[in-house]
Amino acid sequence: MHAAWAQVALAGVWGALVSLERRAFLQAMFSRPLVAATGMGLLLGQLQTGLYLGMILELFYLGTASLGAALPENDTLAATGTTAAAAMMAEQTGGGGTPAIWSLCVLLFAGLGLLGRTVDRRLESHASSLSAHGLELAEHGQLERAVRQNLWGIWPYALVFFVLNAACAALGLWIGAFLSQVPLVVLRGLAWAFPAMASVAAAIAARGSHARNAALWGLLGAAVMTAATLVLAWVNE
């Protein structure tokens, strides 16, 4: 049990780090859903879960960008929080990650992107006031105090996203204890929903790319995935 809570804390640390990378330093694309989710899965011993969820969420958020004062949904929190929950859920069941768990977590944690945007907006106003004060200190020659002032703007961001990701992991651990009580037919339906989610995400990515015939390719990809799902369902009957 202690190991599980250590993983919850580890999920919080990774979520905080990639959230900082997204806003404050480096910005080397580690905060993109594919990388952030895969890293989370690797750290929690569920690499496959991180990779599959990262691919879907990367496609879903592929066209998002921060333009001027408009803040997009926080795709990093959506990726790390969903993956942390799914990984801990899989850990609790003892059977590893499954499409049913992945689908369930995507459905349960779909609002994390919106929550992250709200947090971004609140913390941005706080950081702006600290930055203005730091600039004022620098103009008066107090460079060391100015640097400390700007660093103070980073810590609340790290703390909030640590708590949010750790909470998602803890919630996944708790939900995982009840998965054995879910009817098999529901789990089977969730499992077959995952390829459909991948199809929708691929279609959204193609539509958002503004490439020539993007809608056609998105439709074709969705059709192929749907056909593959039906074939697999028929084979397993």
Q: Block means of pLDDT (10 residues each) for the chain, length 237 residues?
A: 86 93 74 94 94 91 60 90 96 88 92 90 67 56 58 77 96 92 88 83 67 56 59 58
Which pLDDT score, from 0 to 100, does residue 169 have? 96
pLDDT at 68: 47
Domain residue spans in the chain?
A: 2-182, 183-237
Residue 97's CB is within 10 A of a number of other CB atoms, namely 24
Query: Can you read off the two tokens belonging to residue 144?
Result: 């060391």
Q: Is the dihedral of CA 189, 206, 69, 35 positive or negative?
A: positive
The CA radius of gyration of the chain, in Å to the nearest whole number, is: 20
Q: Report the C-alpha gap between 42 and 51 in whole angstroms.
A: 9
Contact residues for 145 (Cβ-Cβ < 8 A; gap 6+): 134, 137
Residue 15, pLDDT score: 95
